[in-house]
């Protein structure tokens, strides 16, 4: 795939006229549209919910006017940014977009379905970027016909204030796509970092410890949320405490991210074979093509093993029901087992007898009095008295 955007140089990307479409006009989508417009990029804003994109444009206008009133932005710059934002009522209106950034709900199936629909609308050189904060970019691209143009472009909330963006390459993402997205982020004044497609990427991987440990402290009744936030702001230098951050991002976003990182990293790390399941026809024991290709040994009943340790003690106390134990007897009436002939107990006793016989057969050295001569003399004197 080649186009004026997808090249190995970043200088051309910064100078090219671009049309970036944003799908999802929530808090993140509106923030991304704003920073792109302020960076001189034409933006199409679309949302499947009726009226949401138009309301997002109105809210963006109010935000820019607020920045003007506080002296952070000139009136001309605010007017230029708003002139670059247009509302797209239908998904088909995005067919001329150079880049499409999705900022919809954090669900793998929803993102895959959206990219599948976009592939039938946009041209083959259009880059499809996902703003996912925790889902695998490779998994999202797996449902696309052209996974080479799928990439992660993760902004942080609030986008105008958090000037960091993660650029995440999937396993099949073309290298030039990542270069182009790095240049796009730099063009709008953000610091771009290129990271691997791992659970949580970079920031959310590290941030899980910040939030989840704070929740654990509250769950153990060590301190209240406002106390934890105050300590971390005043003593540790954080601009936001973990619970302030939860309220800013929203629990409807934070909880799915925590669950997603856990499922992909911690849970699958403990069972890595579950991350890439084999087809059913190739993983069944009857086909002899699972983990072991040779004939598997028969499964023995674990209850037949002698019961020792905590389980035996629990049986004696009545905590666990007693288990049936094999007699290991060749006699049909079990007489040999009761007398210890041929059973496990008899085998142990026979082994102990052999051990005692071996020890007795070893000649012992004569006893030596290891005390010093002075000690022996004192002992003899004491005895004579």
Whether 287 is catalytic: no
Residue in 157, 204, 254, 260 annotated catalytic: 204
Residue in 131, 134, 136, 154 annotated catalytic: 154
Q: For 285, how many CA atoms within 13 A lie in the half-sphere containing its CB?
A: 5
Residue 287's φ and ψ, nearest 5 degrees, are: -85, -5
Instruction: Return the closest-CA partner of residue 117 out of 144, 136, 138.
Output: 144
List the structure tokens of 179.
């270069």
Whether 166 is catalytic: yes
Q: CA 64, CA 75: separation in Å to the nearest integer?
A: 9
- DSSP, res 74: -
Residue 292's SS3 state is: coil
Residue in 46, 106, 131, 133 annotated catalytic: 133
Instruction: Return the closest-CA partner of residue 195 out of 176, 208, 182.
Output: 182
Q: CA 112, CA 119: separation in Å to the nearest integer?
A: 11
Whether 204 is catalytic: yes
Q: CA 284, CA 271: separation in Å to the nearest integer?
A: 18
Q: CA 181, CA 178: separation in Å to the nearest integer?
A: 5
Q: Can the peptide bond before residue 158 be classed as cis, meaning omega within 30 degrees of 0?
A: yes
Q: CA 376, CA 248: separation in Å to the nearest integer?
A: 86
Q: Can the peptide bond before residue 320 be classed as cis, meaning omega within 30 degrees of 0?
A: no
Beta pairing partners, 155? 165
Q: Which long-range contacts (CB under 8 A, 24 or more apart) does 71-75 make?
A: 73/38
Terminal Cα distance for the chain, rounded: 111
C-alpha 321: how far from chain center: 41
Instruction: Return the closest-CA partner of residue 174 out of 143, 142, 147.
Output: 147
Q: CA 345, CA 73: separation in Å to the nearest integer?
A: 89
Residue 258's SS3 state is: helix
Instruction: Return the closest-CA partner of residue 18 out of 3, 2, 1, 31.
Output: 3
Name every residue whose Cβ is closer than 8 Å to that of residue 159 and which is 6 or more positions away in sequence.
28, 31, 32, 34, 35
Residue in 106, 131, 134, 166 annotated catalytic: 166
State the catalytic residues.
133, 154, 166, 204
């Amino acid at each position: 795939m080649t186009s004026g955007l997808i090249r190995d140089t970043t200088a051309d990307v910064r100078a090219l006229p671009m049309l970036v479409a944003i799908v999802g006009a929530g808090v993140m989508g509106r923030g991304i549209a704003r920073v792109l417009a302020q960076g001189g990029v034409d933006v199409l804003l679309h949302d499947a919910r009726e009226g949401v994109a138009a309301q997002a444009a109105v809210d963006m206008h109010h935000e820019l006017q607020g920045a003007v009133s506080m002296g952070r932005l000139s009136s001309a710059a605010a007017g230029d940014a708003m002139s670059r934002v247009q509302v797209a009522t239908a998904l088909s209106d995005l067919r001329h977009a150079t880049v499409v950034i999705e900022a919809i709900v954090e669900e793998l199936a929803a993102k895959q379905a959206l990219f599948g629909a976009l592939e039938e609308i946009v041209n083959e050189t259009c880059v499809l970027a996902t703003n996912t904060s925790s889902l695998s970019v490779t998994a999202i691209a797996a449902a696309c016909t052209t996974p080479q143009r799928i990439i992660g472009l993760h902004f942080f909330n609030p986008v105008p204030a958090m000037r960091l963006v993660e650029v995440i390459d999937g396993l099949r993402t073309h290298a030039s796509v990542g270069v182009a997205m790095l240049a796009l982020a730099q063009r709008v004044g953000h610091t771009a970092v290129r990271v691997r497609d791992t659970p949580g990427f970079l920031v959310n991987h590290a941030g899980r410890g910040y939030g989840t440990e704070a929740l654990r402290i509250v769950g153990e009744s060590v301190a209240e949320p406002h106390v934890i936030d105050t300590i971390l702001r005043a003593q540790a230098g954080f601009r936001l405490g973990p619970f302030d951050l939860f309220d800013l991002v929203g629990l409807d976003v934070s909880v799915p991210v925590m669950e997603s990182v856990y499922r992909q990293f911690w849970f699958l790390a403990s069972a890595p074979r579950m991350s890439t399941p084999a087809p059913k026809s190739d993983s069944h024991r009857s086909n002899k093509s699972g983990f072991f290709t040779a004939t598997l040994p028969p499964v023995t009943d674990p209850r037949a093993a002698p019961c020792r340790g905590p389980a035996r003690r629990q049986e004696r106390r009545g905590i666990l029901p007693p288990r049936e134990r094999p007699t290991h007897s060749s006699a049909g009436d079990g007489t040999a087992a009761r007398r210890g002939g041929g059973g496990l107990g008899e085998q142990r006793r026979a082994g102990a007898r052999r051990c005692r016989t071996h020890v007795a057969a070893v000649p012992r050295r004569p006893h030596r009095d290891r005390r010093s001569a002075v000690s022996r003399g004192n002992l003899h004197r004491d005895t004579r008295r």
